[in-house]
Amino acid sequence: MFFLSIGMFYPSYPDKERWIEEGFRCSGCNVVLITLDALRSDHLGSYGYGKDTSPNIDGLAAKGVLFKNSYSNAPVTSLSLPSLMTSHLPRQSFHDFRYYENSDSWLPMYYINSSYETLSEVFQRSGYKTAVFFSNPFVRITNSVRGFNKIYENIHVTDTRSDADLIEMAQKSMSGSKRHFVWIHLMSPHAPYSPPYPFNQTFYGHNGYSESTNHTVEEMNANNGLMQQEIDFAVSQYDGEISYADNEIGKLLDYISMQGYLTDTLIIISSDHGESFGEHDLFMDHGELYDTNLKVPLIIYNPHANKYEPVVMQKVSLIDIYPTILEIVNLDQSMRLEGRSMVPVILGKDRVAKPVVSIAELPYTLYRLDPDVYPRYFSFAIHHSDFAYLNVGKVEELYNLTSDISQKDNLFDKKEEDIIFFRKLSKSIMI
Ligand SMILES: [Zn+2]
């Protein structure tokens, strides 16, 4: 019964023959950007996950372009979203100190300063109606709300159900709107994992583990003798949150379809960073530079497309989204950005791969644990060719992405030439 109700939300996709444009253009189209907080790509069906967490997202991916190797430029929201909105890596240039009201001390926060033109500002000056919907306070704290005519926040970080409200409000804002750029940042599946019924039971129940013994995220982070069963339960609730968010996205897609917007709406789905479930001793959290925290989904649905590769393998990152959208909808692309348009690889053209850079700046979890004991220092990862190179406070790690996807075998001592290559690359990238 439950799955039948989900099925009702599958949108009816338009007949492409009537809407095709040359290549991958969608000139003057509406744009809907949906980001899910802490969604790692390998927990979606379209990225090969064994559980049916995301039928609506998968349905969109089947009609669009799926980027297999898409990375976040930072493993935390406060650095990642400014990168997405500015197409610049999170460096010192938009660094600022802001007081985070839920904390009792000053914390370094990234805050987009006036030297950057945000993606939403480009839409705004191009005559679009712009609107943002979110429940993660970092969207506002980082000034990622700049350039939006309508700003709607529903700050209930611990209540995933705020996502339904965000979707509903986004729908209302689209109603009767001519040309719109809408960004919805859903809080799911970010911790604490507490999907509403029936999603809390969708992926759990096979082992008799009781929900009443569900540990808090803090307990899980402390890893006080966690049983595998407890981790499995947490993952089932994380997956339940994905399923809940996917169901809400299905409602949105259905609404867009019913309003007749689907023929003129470019839809992008991605995430700000991933999540770890014990990999590299990080439990139900993110902030480190391993692929569990950096590999995020990226799906682009373009109803006007008549030529595209359904699956793109070249490595891309969130800073590439800004120039890609502008090229597809045919707006001003004259600004200097660090990202580059993905349209050439979408069209199947060969081009030189560009290293993907992700910056954590500080070993987030340790710093948060005790800022006095663990000082801040620059840390980053570079994904290039077959390798992931990590430089965490000058401790270097190197992993082969093809033969060691779980990044267990650090090749630092075995690949001297590659380490030298990445050190040189680091210097040119990090200036
Ligand atoms: Zn986040």
Pairs from 212-218 (Cβ < 8 Å, separation ≥ 24): 216/192, 217/191, 217/192, 217/193, 217/284, 217/285
Q: How many domains does the chain have?
A: 2
CATH number at residue 396: 3.30.1120
Q: For the whole prediction, is pTM greater than 0.85?
A: yes
CATH number at residue 308: 3.40.720.10
Instruction: Tell me how far the alpha carbon of residue 135 lies from the centroid of ligand 1, in angstroms.
Output: 11
Task: State whether 371 and 347 are in the same domain.
Answer: no
Q: Are 357 and 75 in contact (CB under 8 A)?
A: no
Residues in the chain: 431
Task: State whether 205 and 88 are in the same domain.
Answer: yes
Domain that holds residue 362: 355-431
Given strand 395-400, what is the order of strands in its sheet? Answer: 356-359, 379-384, 387-392, 395-400
Residue where a domain terminates, one of 322, 351, 380:
351
Task: State whether 54 and 156 are in the same domain.
Answer: yes
Residue where a domain terminates, one of 299, 316, 351:
351
Ligand 1 is a single-atom ion; what residues have CB below 5 A from it?
A: 37, 77, 272
Name the residue with tokens 């003798």.
Answer: 225
Task: State whether 301 and 430 are in the same domain.
Answer: no
Give pLDDT, residue 4.
37
pLDDT tens string, the chain, 431 residues long: the values are: 333 334 344 566 666 555 667 799 999 999 999 999 999 999 999 999 999 999 999 999 999 999 999 999 999 998 899 999 999 998 765 555 555 555 555 555 678 888 899 999 999 999 999 999 999 988 998 899 999 999 999 986 556 668 999 999 999 999 887 899 999 999 999 988 889 999 999 998 655 455 545 555 556 556 556 777 788 888 999 999 999 999 999 999 999 999 999 999 999 999 999 999 989 988 888 888 999 999 999 999 999 999 999 999 999 999 999 999 999 999 999 999 999 999 999 999 988 999 999 998 755 555 555 667 666 667 899 999 999 999 987 789 999 999 999 999 999 999 999 999 999 998 877 65
pLDDT tens string 387-422: 999 998 778 999 999 999 999 999 999 999 999 999
Q: Are 274 and 217 in contact (CB under 8 A)?
A: no
Task: State whether 260 and 371 are in the same domain.
Answer: no
Task: State whether 359 and 344 are in the same domain.
Answer: no
Task: State whether 381 and 283 are in the same domain.
Answer: no
Give pLDDT, residue 409.
95
Residue where a domain terminates, one of 320, 351, 382:
351
Helix (H, G, I), strand (E, B) or coil at 8: coil
Instruction: Tell me how far the alpha carbon of residue 60 lies from the centroid of ligand 1, in angstroms.
Output: 23
Instruction: Tell me how far the alpha carbon of residue 334 lies from the centroid of ligand 1, in angstroms.
Output: 30
Residues in Cβ contact with 94 at an 8 Å cutoff, skipping those fewer than 6 apart: 82, 86, 88, 110, 111, 112, 113, 115, 116
Instruction: Tell me how far the alpha carbon of residue 354 lies from the centroid of ligand 1, in angstroms.
Output: 25
